[in-house]
Amino acid sequence: MTDLALQIGENIRKRRLEIGLSQDNLALTAEIDRSYIGRIERGSVNITIEMLYKISIPLQCDPKTLLPEADKRLVQ
């Protein structure tokens, strides 16, 4: 697990709870497997940018807002 994946997972979870969406609903609307959403939120997978854009639609937010500030240590 990288810090980057952990922070992205945390941001996705925070936004999902903010708009009162369950993991099931997010998985359904984003057409993603429910267990994969759980792994994303736990930061245990390194998602593609396409997946980020897909998830941002039901989360009703700009995908960039789900990304942490750039920091070299995030990818070391």
Provide the binding-site residues for its own copies, judged by CB under 8 A: 2, 4-5, 8, 46-50, 52-54, 56-57, 62-64, 67, 70, 72, 74-75
Give min distance, CB of 39 to its own copies, in A. 14
Of 21 and 47, which has the nearer Cβ to its own copies? 47
We find the least distance from the C-beta atom of residue 14 to its own copies, in angstroms, to be 17
Write 37-42 long-range contacts (CB < 8 A, 24+). Answer: 40/8, 40/9, 40/12, 41/9, 41/10, 41/12, 41/13, 41/16, 42/9
Min CB(27)–its own copies separation in Å:
16
Residue among 20 and 69 whose Cβ is closer to its own copies: 69
Report DSSP state, residue 69.
P
